[in-house]
């Protein structure tokens, strides 16, 4: 049996020698590895293509990489928390009172992991690959923005009503809508990363592109009227300014303070302030968190099961559709103590990476990029306190769909890649593994 395996491996290597057509095709498939996980999301959200076909597409690169490199994937610092979190997801699935919801989020969570490893496996690829990835996700964010403004769940205030009217003319009907807080959370993560690239890159074209995108996305964030997104994005950008150049931070802080001070009367009297920062929303979240904690007291070890929050947590006689409005409570509810341990390990590893990044050479061209990505993750962590940005449930005309969001996985992968480039380490081994 072993001889047959060795012979097949040797034959495959002969067929995939550099320069052959089969070799080029195999390496092209490996470059596409992260994007091949996205059909799984389409199967869950749109019921097409068939889920078995999506998984076949998503898994093709793995045996191919094993045959070419004798390794399934590159090792990363986050391997252990990822493995532990999968165990928590498995437990949550078996305990789920709604297997359909549980299966949806479990499959999309695994797809997020495949996406993460697909990116880190290609970390040494040329810059055009990462530019393509950035363009792909910019298009996703633009689509998400249009989807949000086309729905009825957004915050309509005096300065963004024209956007809803403009997008409504497109007559989009996707059967559901994206809440403004989802949009706010996405841009709160992305904007600090773009600011970091703008401040650090030495390529004029990339600097201008990142700066323009940062301004455009900041404008969309403002128009979303997502208070949580505003706060998280500001904190993330300030982190970039503070640790990149202290003077820039001071100038930015003074400029914002001056603008707020000069327009204080306008802010105080404007009716939209109460809509963007509603006191009732804060109280509502406190009630939801308390109800969630009360439900978890009955199952503190195992949690409520994947999607079990909606069957176990009741608020004022009805089940609120938005979930726990706290990504950490929601994740604990889904995966129990195992998921909490995985999250704690991941945070500890992230802090360790941040410490090393902050103590790196600030004149290194990758410093600002790594710092911006880290600040984006911090901003996402802040936004996670008031909303779900790891997993999200949406209500269509016919059913509920519960799925994992890959955005933070993108930034964690980019954090690993930028750290490797920042440290100038060997392409096959990391000192923090």
- Mind listing the pLDDT tens digit for each residue in 162-176? 888 887 777 665 556
Percent of the chain predicted with pLDDT > 90: 25
pLDDT of residue 340: 94
Contact 384, 390 (CB under 8 A): yes
170 by DSSP, 3-state: which?
coil
Whole-number pLDDT of residue 260: 63
pLDDT on residue 152: 65
Taking a C-beta distance cutoff of 8 angstroms, is the pair 273, 267 a contact? yes
Determine the Cα–Cα distance for residues 120 and 427; give it in Å rounded to an integer. 11
Does the pLDDT at position 410 exceed 90? Answer: no
Q: Give the whole-number percent of the chain exceeding pLDDT 70.
A: 80
345 located within any domain: yes
At 430 the pLDDT is 39
More confident residue, 262 or 99: 99
Got the DSSP string for 344-399? HHHHHHHHHHHHHHHTS-TTSTTHHHHHHHHHHHHHHHHHTTTS--SEEEEE-SS-
Instruction: Provide the token pair at 400.
Output: 């509920």
User: Of the given ranges (173-182, 376-385, 395-404), which has the lowest mean pLDDT?
Assistant: 173-182
Quote the CA–CA distance of 151 and 321 in Å, as a whole number: 16
Under a CB-based contact definition with an 8 Å cutoff, are residues 411 and 373 in contact?
Answer: yes
Q: What is the pLDDT of residue 427?
A: 40
Question: What is the average pLDDT across 73-85?
Answer: 92
Rounded Cα–Cα distance for residues 341 and 88 (Å): 9
In whole angstroms, give the CA distance from residue 320 to residue 65.
Answer: 45
Which of 87-101, 216-230, 237-251 shows the lowest mean pLDDT across its residues?
237-251
Task: Annotate 304-322 with b (16+ C-beta within 10 A) or e (fewer).
Answer: bbbbbbbebbeeeeeebeb
CA 88/CA 147 separation, integer angstroms: 32
Torsion of CA 366, 371, 372, 376, to 10 degrees: 140
Domain region containing 394: 73-423
Measured between alpha carbons, how far is 172 from 46 in angstroms, rounded to an integer? 15
What is the Cα–Cα distance from 109 to 331, expressed in whole angstroms? 12
Instruction: Reply yes or no on whether the pLDDT at 359 is more than 70.
Output: yes
Low-confidence winner among 32-36, 233-237, 268-272 (lowest mean pLDDT): 268-272
Q: Which of 108-112, 143-147, 270-274, 388-392 has the lowest mean pLDDT?
A: 270-274
pLDDT at 425: 43
Q: Is residue 295 part of a domain?
A: yes
Res. 433 pLDDT band, cuts 50 70 90: very low
Number of domains in the chain: 1
User: Is the per-residue pLDDT at 261 higher than 80?
Assistant: no
Residue 241 pLDDT greater than 90, yes or no: no
Are 382 and 229 within 8 A, CB to CB? no
> Could you tell me if residue 429 is inside a domain?
no
Residue 10 is assigned to a structural domain of this protein: no
Residue 13 — very low, low, confident or very high, per pLDDT cuts 50/70/90?
low
In a domain, 11, yes or no: no
Give the model's pLDDT for residue 83.
95
Residue 160 is encoded by which pair of tokens?
């963004």
pLDDT in tens, 202-218: 778 888 888 999 999 99
The pLDDT of residue 386: 86
> Does residue 387 lie in a domain region?
yes
Query: Does residue 430 lie in a domain region?
Result: no
pLDDT band with cut points at 50, 70 and 90 for residue 78: very high
- Mean of pLDDT values over 101-107: 93
Measuring CA to CA, how many Å separate 190 from each of 185, 210, 263, 375, 376?
9, 11, 28, 9, 6
**Is the per-residue pLDDT at 377 higher than 70?**
yes
CB 278: neighbour CB atoms within 10 A?
Answer: 13
* The predicted structure's pLDDT at residue 329: 93
Max mean pLDDT range (133-147, 236-250, 265-279, 333-347): 333-347
Region 298-313 average pLDDT? 89
Domain contains 381: yes
Average pLDDT, the chain: 81
**pLDDT tens across 113-150, in order?**
999 999 999 887 777 787 888 888 888 888 888 888 87
The answer to whether residue 103 scores a pLDDT higher than 90 is yes
The pLDDT of residue 262 is: 61
Q: Residue 403 forms beta bridges with which residues? A: 392
Give dist(CA 150, CA 157) in Å, integer.
15
Calculate mean pLDDT across residues 90-119. Answer: 93
**pTM for the whole thing?**
0.84
């Amino acid at each position: 049996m072993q001889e047959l395996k060795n012979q097949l491996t040797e034959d495959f290597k002969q067929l995939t020698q550099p320069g052959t057509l089969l070799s080029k095709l195999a390496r092209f498939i490996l470059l596409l590895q992260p994007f091949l996980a996205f059909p799984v999301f389409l199967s869950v959200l749109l019921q097409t293509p068939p889920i078995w076909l999506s998984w076949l597409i998503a898994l093709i690169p793995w045996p191919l990489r094993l045959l070419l490199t004798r390794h399934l994937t590159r090792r990363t610092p986050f391997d252990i928390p990822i493995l532990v979190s999968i165990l928590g997801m498995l437990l949550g699935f078996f305990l789920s009172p709604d297997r359909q919801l549980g299966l949806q989020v479990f499959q999309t969570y695994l797809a997020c992991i495949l996406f993460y490893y697909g990116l880190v496996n290609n970390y040494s690829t040329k810059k055009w690959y990462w530019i393509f990835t950035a363009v792909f996700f910019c298009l996703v964010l633009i689509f998400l923005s249009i989807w949000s403004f086309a729905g009825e769940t957004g915050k309509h205030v005096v300065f963004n009503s024209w956007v809803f009217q403009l997008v409504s003319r497109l007559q989009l009907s996707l059967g559901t809508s994206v809440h403004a807080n989802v949009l706010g959370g996405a841009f709160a993560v992305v904007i600090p990363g773009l600011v970091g690239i703008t401040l650090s890159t030495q390529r004029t074209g990339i600097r201008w592109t990142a700066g323009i995108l940062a301004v455009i996305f900041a404008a969309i964030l403002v128009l979303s009227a997502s208070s949580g997104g505003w706060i998280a994005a500001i904190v993330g950008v300030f982190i970039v300014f503070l640790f990149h150049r202290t003077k820039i931070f001071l100038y930015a802080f003074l400029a914002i303070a001056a603008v707020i001070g000069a327009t204080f009367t306008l802010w105080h009297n404007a009716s939209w302030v109460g809509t963007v920062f509603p006191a009732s929303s804060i109280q509502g979240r406190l009630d939801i968190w308390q109800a969630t904690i009360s439900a978890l007291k009955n199952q503190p070890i195992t949690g409520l099961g994947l999607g079990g929050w909606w069957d176990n947590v009741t608020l004022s006689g009805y089940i609120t559709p938005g979930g726990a409005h706290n990504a950490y409570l929601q994740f604990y509810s889904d995966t129990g103590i195992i998921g909490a341990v995985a999250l704690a390990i991941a945070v500890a590893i992230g802090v360790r990476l941040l410490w090393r990044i902050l103590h790196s050479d600030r004149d290194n061209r990758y410093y600002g990029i790594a710092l911006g990505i880290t600040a984006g993750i911090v901003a996402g962590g802040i936004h996670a306190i008031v909303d779900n940005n790891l997993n999200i449930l949406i209500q269509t005309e016919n059913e509920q769909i519960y799925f994992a969001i890959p955005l933070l996985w993108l930034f964690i992968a980019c954090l690993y890649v930028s750290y490797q480039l920042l440290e100038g380490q060997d392409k096959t081994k990391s000192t923090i593994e």
